[in-house]
Amino acid sequence: MQVDAHDPLERERVDELVARGRAAMRKFAGADQARVDEAVTALAWSIYKPEHARELAELAVRHTGMGNVTDKITKNQRKTFGTLRDLMRAKTVGIIEELPDLGLVKYAKPVGVVAAVVPSTNPSATAVNKAMMAVKGKNAVIVSPSPVALTTSARTVKLMREGLDQIGAPVDLIQVMPEPATKSMTSMLMESCDLAVVTGSQNNVRTAYRSGTPAIGVGAGNVPVIIDETADLGAAAKKICASKTFDNATSCSSENSLIILDEVYDDAIQALKTVGGYLANADEKNLIAKTHWVDGRINRRVLAKDAEVIAREMGLSKTAGQSRFLMVEETGAGPDYPFSDEKLSLVLTIYRVADFTEAIARVRTILDFKGRGHSCGVHTANMDRARQLAETLDVVRVLVNMAHTFGNGGGFDSGLNFTLSMGCGTWQGNSITENLSYRHFINVTHLATTIPEDKPSEAALFGAHWERYGR
């Protein structure tokens, strides 16, 4: 039964959260950069602390049934550490930039109370990631978790609040939606806050954009990766395996399809088998297809589960269950080819193509079906190939010789900033075409003063046009 979006009790609860957030912001308004950075560090430590990272990982796996504890611990710590590195290098209080030649001085200001919608796949890491970015801009944030991950997200928020309390900062800078966190309350929260930032469900993204509040939504992933004839096949296989299997493929950046050039196809498959891949035969492919989707939706019994679990669920052999990931050969993309879709499982789709031109065409058909705007990758020794992808494909990120899960959302050997929320531009109806960062959580005031006149002559601007077409 759909809950009335204007239920007075729910409205009262949302309004109270927002009011407390605004009060906390007023208390924190005078904080200088050092104090802000102290608060951000406290938030980071609340999840990075080893016993907390483990506790939250165990809670997430227990309540969502997705991923695995070891990798979630790594995710909680790695993403938080990387984000803290990025934030400690940024200025967000007072004057943040001076451009004397242009007569401009830029001042950072808070955006206000932020509604942070968090997915079930990353109920702790995403919550802390957004909170750190928001508080870096002296904002308050209200976390709206996935219902199945409410316990984990609520515990995460409690630990963050304890971190703020320890340093004497207003604890209501961080809050969480109370149980039960209904869809209508999330919608009201988006309407009542000053900025909505949504990671996860595309329904929530669309709701945010309809809310009337400035909103940042991110898109769905379905990453295709090319392996060409110049690639280091052993290195590529190791990276793909590490990325695909991390946290049982819960990341939207996880490789979903490999497009392998014919010249190296057999050797690439062997390299993938060597690192733990299992290539399904035609009968096994049918079994996987019948089990992986139920009524057109991913079966939660295989969603982000261990290979042993999904192999048993699908009726596959013991050998398949002992692998690290499953490979399925496919020939097309679109609604009639479900393996071309995002799978959020340890199933990797394999395409065989004649040459690099056909590889690009296949990537395009996959992305046009699902994931356009998000990302793609290539394993190659030919940078011209990588540049060709960047020039011709509608994606925000093209990764070269990288494990996608560890590079797309920021890496210590990647120039992309750390985040768990990746914009996909207008290709997916998103308002940002980059990784979410602190820059999206500040307003900027521009102080402008006069400079020597910078007005070129008419001839300088129109001369070439006049010469070619006349005046």
Task: Note if 252 is an active site residue.
Answer: yes
State the DSSP H helix or E strand holding residue 57, giving kind and residue range, or none if neither: helix 50-64
The arrangement of strands across the sheet holding 277-279 comes to: 277-279, 325-329, 347-353, 255-261, 223-227, 373-379, 395-400
**pLDDT band per the 50, 70, 90 thresholds, residue 179:** confident
41, pLDDT greater than 60: yes
Looking at 74-220, which runs of residues are DSSP E strands?
94-99, 104-110, 113-117, 140-144, 174-176, 195-198, 215-217
Amino acid 3: pLDDT? 41
State how beta strands 195-198 and 94-99 pair. Answer: unpaired
Mean pLDDT of 416-442: 95
Fold of 223-405: Aldehyde Dehydrogenase; Chain A, domain 2 (3.40.309)
State the DSSP H helix or E strand holding residue 165, giving kind and residue range, or none if neither: helix 150-166
Tell me the one-letter amino acid at 311: A
Mean pLDDT of 330-355: 96
First vs last C-alpha separation in the chain: 68
d(CA 247, CA 253): 12
Q: State pLDDT tens for residues 195-229.
A: 999 998 788 888 899 999 999 999 889 999 999 99
Asked if 103 contacts 433 with a C-beta cutoff of 8 angstroms, the reply is no
Q: Which two tokens stand for residue 2?
A: 């759909």
Look up residue 417 and give its DSSP letter: P
Q: Which two tokens stand for residue 381?
A: 């020794």
Least confident of 193-202, 226-235, 332-341: 193-202
6, pLDDT greater than 70: no
Mean pLDDT of 114-118: 96
Residues of the chain with CATH 3.40.605.10: 8-218+436-447
4, pLDDT greater than 50: no
**pTM recorded for the entire structure:** 0.94
Q: Which two tokens stand for residue 418?
A: 């750390």
Mean pLDDT of 300-319: 94
Q: Give the 3-state secondary structure of residue 253.
A: coil
Q: Is 8-218+436-447 a domain of CATH 3.40.605.10?
A: yes
Looking at 145-285, which runs of residues are DSSP E strands?
174-176, 195-198, 215-217, 223-227, 255-261, 277-279
Mean pLDDT of 109-132: 96
Of 193, 252, 376, 424, the catalytic one is 252
Radius of gyration of the chain (CA): 24
Tell me the one-letter amino acid at 273: K
Amino acid 296: pLDDT? 85
Q: Please, what's the b/e burial string for 317-329 (b: 16 or more CB within 10 A of its CB; e: otherwise)?
A: eeebbebbbbbbe
Amino acid 369: pLDDT? 96
**Percent of the residues in the chain that have a pLDDT greater than 90, as a whole number:** 93
- What is the average pLDDT score of the chain? 95
Q: How far is CA 423 from CA 88, 283, 300, 390, 420, in A?
A: 22, 38, 26, 16, 10
State how beta strands 174-176 and 140-144 pair. Answer: parallel
Q: Which two tokens stand for residue 460?
A: 């300088």
Amino acid 180: pLDDT? 81
Of residues 13, 346, 308, the one with CA closest to residue 181? 13
2, pLDDT greater than 70: no
**Percent of the residues in the chain that have a pLDDT greater than 70, as a whole number:** 99
Q: State pLDDT tens for residues 263-294.
A: 999 999 999 999 999 999 999 999 999 999 99
Q: State pLDDT tens for residues 350-387.
A: 999 999 999 999 999 999 999 999 999 999 999 999 99
d(CA 300, CA 308): 15
Q: Please, what's the b/e burial string for 144-175 (b: 16 or more CB within 10 A of its CB; e: otherwise)?
A: bbbeebbbbbbbbbebbbebbeeeebbbbbbb
Of residues 153, 211, 207, the one with CA closest to residue 179? 153
471, pLDDT greater than 90: yes
d(CA 37, CA 84): 9
Residues of the chain with CATH 3.40.309.10: 223-405
> Which residue is listed with tokens 């984000």?
83
Mean pLDDT of 76-88: 98
Of residues 80, 77, 61, the one with CA closest to residue 69? 61
Q: State pLDDT tens for residues 42-71.
A: 999 999 999 999 999 999 999 999 999 999
243, pLDDT greater than 60: yes
Least confident of 5-14, 116-125, 273-282: 5-14
